[in-house]
Structures are given as C-alpha cells and as structure tokens.
C-alpha cells in the first residue's frame, strides 16, 4: 500500500514542470487523499541531501495555480547518480560512497514508497539506474517517470511534455527579433534554437513562425514585406548543411529583400566547430553527463560569422530563444497532455507499475508506463516528414540530405 510519494524535477527546464507538479498533486488528492506527498528540492541533488518540501493542505488546495507558471517551483539540478567523481567533487556524497546507495538509503529513510521523476532522457535514464539498483537490493519502491524535454527526442515516446509550448514560444520570440530585419541594410539574423542533437524544436519553431507569416496581412507598398519578415533558412543536425550552396541561395534573398533570417539548431554543425577548436588546442567543456556545453562553443555566432562574409551582410544579429522558450508556462496542448500523463502516472504508481509514461511509438502509440530499459535519448528528427518538406519548399530551401549523426558527447 502506498503511503508516501516523492516528486522531483531534474535537468534543464521545459514548459511543463510546474504544471506537472501541480497535476500530480491534484491527482493524488483526488484519488488517494491520504497519501503523503513530498517534493525534493533541486532534483536529485535534494534527494541526496534529504532536502524537500512537504505538500501541505494549502498546497493541495491551490495546486492548480502551478499551471500558470513556468520553470519548476521545486527547482532542478544536473546530477547523474552514476557519476560518483562529479558528486564527490560537488560535495553531494562522501568520497568512496556509491551515490545510488546514498539515494536509495535516503528514500528509505524518508519513508518513500513511490518516486515520480519529471525530466528528459538523462533524468529518466538516471531514474532507470536507480530503479535497477533498488530492484537488485530488494528495496520496495516504485519509480514512475514523466518525459520532459523541449528537444522531443526520447525513444520511444511520441511527444514529450513541454516541447509544443517551447516551439510556440520560440516563434513568439522570433516575431520581435525578426522585426530588426531592416534596422540596418543587409541584416543577417540567426535565431539559435535549443535542441542539442535533435532538430525537432528548430523545425517546429520555424513552422509556427512561418505559419504566422502566411496568416498575417502585409503592406509591401510601405515596406511591410512578407518575404522580408519570413524565415529563409532552417538548419538542423540531421541534415547536411552545404554552406556554399546555401550562401549562394541566400545571397539572392539578401540582394532582393535586404535581409536574411536563419533558424538554426544549437546542435547543427557542432562536430565541425569542436574540431576547429580542438585543432587550436582549446579544451571543449562538458557537463556531468558528458554533453558538450554548447554555450561555450556558440554555434550561432560561428554560423553567423560564416554566412555574414558570404552574404555580404553589414550587420549580424545572433539571438537565442532557448531560455525564453523553455521557461514559459504550459500552453493548452501541453496542459492536456500533462493531465493525461499525470493521471496514468498516479494510477501506475498506486498499482506498483514502474516506467516512464508516454505514448509508445513501438506499441501503436499506446499511452502506457514504458519500461525503463527501453528509454533512450537521442531520437533524431525525421527530416522526411511531409510538414517539414512543405516548410522548406515554402521558403525556397532545397529538400534536405540526411547527415551522418555522430553522438555529441
């Protein structure tokens, strides 16, 4: 029988965390009001430190309020429970300790029967490591995850929480940034979008923005020109970026309308940039999970520099929508998806069924608790989808050629 439940959010923010925390609290209050709920502060860090919020009657009564806010009320952190060296360095576990055991012992000490993890592939693979450890050592605890990532790249989950909102918010961000297109003649705008190894968010953001352009009314007679406001290039990691060919195409756009706007995935061209930096003897910074710290290599600036020269741009504006988009409150689509997944998450937890909740693409898109061992990150964006090909055709960009996709560690 479930008596006590713990929640945690981890990894980078996405526009679903606050809503999901509230939805889980609401669902437990509705179907199992006697279950005690705590929420670990700052993700797995709070779990290791034994730092948590207690969900009081006041929080239960007002949990719906959380859906109106972005971020995470309980805080996040980037902690990998199998990276003992990093955790010792950060003072989160003592030297020689097994972080998985520290976490398991803390859960037992706190009397937790169910742990809900809300995070991306790193969070849920960490949850899988913890679940496997618990099972191996006969800890009686159920772990149920929810898939949070604006990259929408969790295998085998059809749609991750927060991704749709992030695309919507990225398009909103672009509306204001692209208004700068004629603040100078021959302006190059590079809109860098989050999405590490997956181009889904960049493509979806570009589609949202392009659809807005097509649906809007313009007045070219006074300079309010649809083509100048449109997106002119979309570059994702899954497709080859032919700089010379694209520069030639975009040069014609620059000559015609006096500006060029590119939507660029932060993971596009990373291998080339890293190779260039390492050839200069520079060290490329990585996080606890081994991922390249993209903010330190600045893909947008690199592409901006390459294209500015080839397009004859007199001004280059590189803008990143990532933090604006990922910290927004959930939109209506995501609220419905979050509610649906949270209901099943609670039902699964009460039934003792572990896994990550999602529409399982390998099981006919059934919404179910997907086995932890089947959860992986790095699902590539399908560049052959009709909507993406239509987007590229609509902006005059050739159909994409698939790129080799080495992992960005």
Catalytic center residues? 151
Distances from the Cα of 340 to the Cαs of 160, 164, 337, in angstroms? 12, 15, 5
The DSSP bridge partners found for residue 318 are 190
Please give the Cα distance from 40 to 54 (Å, whole number): 9
Q: For the residues of 262-313, what is the DSSP string, one character each?
A: EEEETTTTHHHHHHHHHHTTPPPPB-TTS-B-HHHH-HHHHHHHHHHHHHT-
Distances from the Cα of 160 to the Cαs of 289, 291, 340, 344, 362, in angstroms? 20, 20, 12, 15, 15
Please give the Cα distance from 53 to 154 (Å, whole number): 29
Q: b vs e for 23-61, b when ≥16 Cβ sit within 10 Å of the residue's Cβ? A: bbbbbbbeebeebebbbbbbbbbbbbbeebbebeeebee
CB 10 within 8 A of CB 123: yes
């Amino acid at each position: 029988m479930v008596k006590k439940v713990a929640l945690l959010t981890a990894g980078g923010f996405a526009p679903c965390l606050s809503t999901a925390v509230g939805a889980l609290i609401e669902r437990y209050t509705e179907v199992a009001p006697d279950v005690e709920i705590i929420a670990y502060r700052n993700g797995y860090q709070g779990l290791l430190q034994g730092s948590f919020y207690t969900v009081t009657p006041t929080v239960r009564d007002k949990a719906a309020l959380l859906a109106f806010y972005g971020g995470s009320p309980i805080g996040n952190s980037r902690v990998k429970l199998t990276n003992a060296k990093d955790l010792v360095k950060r003072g989160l576990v003592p030297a020689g300790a097994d972080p998985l055991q520290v976490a398991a012992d803390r859960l037992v000490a706190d009397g937790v029967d169910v742990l809900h993890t809300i995070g991306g592939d790193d969070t849920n693979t960490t949850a899988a490591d913890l679940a496997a450890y618990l099972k191996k050592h006969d800890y009686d605890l159920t772990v149920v995850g929810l898939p949070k990532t604006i990259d929408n790249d969790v295998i085998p989950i059809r749609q991750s929480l927060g991704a749709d909102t992030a695309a919507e918010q990225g398009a909103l961000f672009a509306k204001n940034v692209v208004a700068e297109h004629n603040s100078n003649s021959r302006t190059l705008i590079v809109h860098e979008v989050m999405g590490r190894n997956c181009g889904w968010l960049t493509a979806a953001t570009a589609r949202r923005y392009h659809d807005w352009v097509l649906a809007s009314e313009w007045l070219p007679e006074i300079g309010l020109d649809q083509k100048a406001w449109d997106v002119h290039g979309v570059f994702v990691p899954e497709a080859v970026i032919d700089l010379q060919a694209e520069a030639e195409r975009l040069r014609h756009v620059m000559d015609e309308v006096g500006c060029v706007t590119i939507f660029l995935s932060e993971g596009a061209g990373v291998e080339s940039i890293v190779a260039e930096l390492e050839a200069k003897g520079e060290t490329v910074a990585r996080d606890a999970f081994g991922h390249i710290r993209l903010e330190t290599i600045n893909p947008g600036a690199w592409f901006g520099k390459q294209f500015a020269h080839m397009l004859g741009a007199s001004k280059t504006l590189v803008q990143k929508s990532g933090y604006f988009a990922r910290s927004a409150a959930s939109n209506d689509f995501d609220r419905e998806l979050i509610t649906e997944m949270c209901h099943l998450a609670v039902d699964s937890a009460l039934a003792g069924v572990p896994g990550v909740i999602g529409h399982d693409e390998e099981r006919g898109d059934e919404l179910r608790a997907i086995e932890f061992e089947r959860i992986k990150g790095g699902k590539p964006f399908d560049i052959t989808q009709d909507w993406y090909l239509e987007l590229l055709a609509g902006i005059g960009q050739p159909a994409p050629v698939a790129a080799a996709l080495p992992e960005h560690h």
